[in-house]
Structure 1
Amino acid sequence: MYDRAGTLPASRTDFVLESIKEAILHGKLKPGQALVESELAATLNVSKTPVREALKTLAGSGLVVMSPYRGATVRVVDAEMAASVYDVRLLLEPEALRRAVQRRADFSEARAALDDTGDLARRSLANRRFHRALYAGCGNPLMVEVLDGLRDRTALITVAGWGLCPTWEAEDAEHRAILVVAEEGFADEAADLLRRHVQTFADRVAEELPDVVR
């Protein structure tokens, strides 16, 4: 049981966790789809125990919903969920970037992510890498931890938004503009551009997504 890099995962639970997460974020497991422990265990060639533990972890990160009546299901992305996630991002992420620029952080990972294109799944991963590279050097580990905690939910929302109406080209242009200003050392300007970038996507997603709670 090896991962795609050909190395043995740290544990069966880690392997199962990453496999299910990847399937959700790549759209192989659809929003609202039931996650049956026995079926997942058979697919991944493991017992039900690591599947159960993985589903609990994914529920904690917001990708899975646990119900005493329906069991585990893939979270349905709705306007309320998106608003909550983007509310926190808009409060923290631009400020984290401003601080990273002031600290003259290294943005080479962000630049590398810009050139990583491909299908929906690959673009989603590149988008995650880019945004994390912007705030990772802010100098506040707790701020980084909070933003890292939103990454899975953000990715789920982003994939849903692109599925409704792809805006890759516009977002790529915005990413490049943000990075140029950040690398030139203009902290406030970089923060403002990032805030507008995040807000624009949040507004579009709020209009497109169903306003339901599941």
Structure 2
Amino acid sequence: MNFAPHPIPSRTQYVLEAVKHRILTGQLAPGQPLVETELAAQFAVSKTPVREALKTLAGTGLVVMSQYKGATVRTVDAAMAQEVYDVRLLLEPEALRRTVRSGALLEEARDALERADTAADAAERSLANREFHRALYLPCGNPLLSRMLDEVRDQAALVSAVAWATLPSWEREAAEHREILRLALAGEADAAAAGLHDHIASFVRRAFPEGDPS
């Protein structure tokens, strides 16, 4: 018996990616209702792919489904940020430590930094930031560890988008990214992991001081 997941239909995937992009770039604000009929009209599709896309986004933590309110963009508060960043603090530094010890070249991390530095807007910069972090943990040699980090990736991006809207701190974080990558490329696994831990913890501490997870 084949238990492989069924591929998402193309229309559903199209709606899913479009709504996700709008959420992560702030075009759809936390708490904003996601009305199936309105989204179906905007994307020129039936309500079925919209409904399926919203269910998938609810599974990733970007959307909240309520029997009474319908679907809304997930709100971000200190408790939500702490929940997501606790996972990152526990797993991401260790994944980077393993990546460095594996001798990975980290070319994709370099490329992501360059894209971030030349980004035309906050949305492009946010996407480059996500790719930088993923490029650090993906070659860790443990596919399950990578998948676990992928599962909180969208929620972490939502936290970042909300935080940057009120507390722009990209230049500081970009400098921290460069130092983390320098240590990683130098083969200093423990120092790179420690730098990444401090980077993640300090961001959420500044953005949500009442929910400091460190």
**1:43 and 2:42 aligned:** yes
Distance in 1, matches of 2:120 and 2:87, equals: 29
1:10 Cα deviation from its structure 2 partner: 6.1
Distance in 1, matches of 2:51 and 2:27, equals: 19
Mapping of residues 89-108 of structure 1, within 5 Å: 89-108=88-107
Aligned twin of 1:150: 152
Consecutive unaligned residues of structure 2, counting only runs of 5 or more, are 1-7
Aligned twin of 1:59: 58
Runs of 4+ residues deviating >4 angstroms: none
Aligned twin of 2:184: 182
Aligned twin of 2:31: 32
Q: Which amino acid aligns with 2:199?
A: H
1:92 Cα deviation from its structure 2 partner: 0.3
Distance in 2, matches of 1:28 and 1:159, equals: 11
1:120 Cα deviation from its structure 2 partner: 1.1
| TM, length-normalised to structure 2 | 0.91
Q: Which amino acid aligns with 1:103?
A: S
Distance in 1, matches of 2:72 and 2:44, equals: 20
Q: Which amino acid aligns with 1:170?
A: R
3-state SS of paired residue (1:65) = strand
Distance in 2, matches of 1:184 and 1:194, equals: 15
Distance in 1, matches of 2:129 and 2:136, equals: 11
Q: Which amino acid aligns with 2:100?
A: V
Consecutive unaligned residues of structure 1, counting only runs of 5 or more, are 1-8, 210-214
3-state SS of paired residue (2:160) = helix
Contact preservation (8 Å) 2:167, 2:207? no
Aligned twin of 1:15: 14
**1:135 and 2:137 aligned:** yes
**Between Structure 1 and Structure 2, which shows a larger proportion of helix residues?**
2
1:206 Cα deviation from its structure 2 partner: 1.6
Question: Sequence identity of aligned pairs in percent?
Answer: 61
1:207 Cα deviation from its structure 2 partner: 2.3
Aligned twin of 1:196: 198
Mapping of residues 162-177 of structure 1, within 5 Å: 162-177=164-179
